[in-house]
Amino acid sequence: GNSVTQMEGPVTLSEEAFLTINCTYTATGYPSLFWYVQYPGEGLQLLLKATKADDKGSNKGFEATYRKETTSFHLEKGSVQVSDSAVYFCALSDGTSGTYKYIFGTGTRLKVLA
């Protein structure tokens, strides 16, 4: 079945450091890929998405490229800020079965220190 695996957290970085959060997926079809972010006390918010191979999603300085050959969708940011502290979820949406189902990774907590 479909699955999403993302790196264990927590990830602790100093402000302005480079961020990478790894995400790999298994899917039978051609899924769309997403990164969602959850701030304390809130629901998840869409951060970025990519719908086909080699697409690059980007938003608020975050980027991720849909790599079909390595089945990966790693999240990167060149210079993190304290306000980026949150939990990040990688997800896929696959419609191979006839209806679209979302599969979420377990989440990676990011803590950025001033």
Piece of 10-18, 22-30, 70-78, 95-103 that binds other proteins (CB under 8 A): 95-103
Binder of other proteins out of 25, 33, 34, 80 (CB under 8 A): 34
CB-based contacts of 69, cutoff 8 Å, min separation 6: none
Which 36-65 residues touch other proteins, going by CB under 8 A?
36, 41-46, 49
Binder of other proteins out of 2, 5, 17, 102 (CB under 8 A): 102
Question: Three-state DSSP class for 82?
Answer: helix
How far is CA 89 from each of CA 21, 97, 98, 99, 114, rounded to the nearest angstrom? 10, 23, 24, 22, 23
Q: Which is nearer to other proteins, 35 or 80 (CB)?
A: 35
Task: Tell me whether the omega of the peptide bond preceding residue 10 falls within 30 degrees of 0, making it cis.
Answer: yes
| 1 near other proteins, judged by CB under 8 A | no
Rounded CA separation 92/41 (Å) = 24
Binder of other proteins out of 19, 27, 66, 107 (CB under 8 A): 107
- Residue ranges that bind other proteins, judged by CB under 8 A: 32, 34, 36, 41-46, 49, 89, 93, 95, 99-102, 104-107
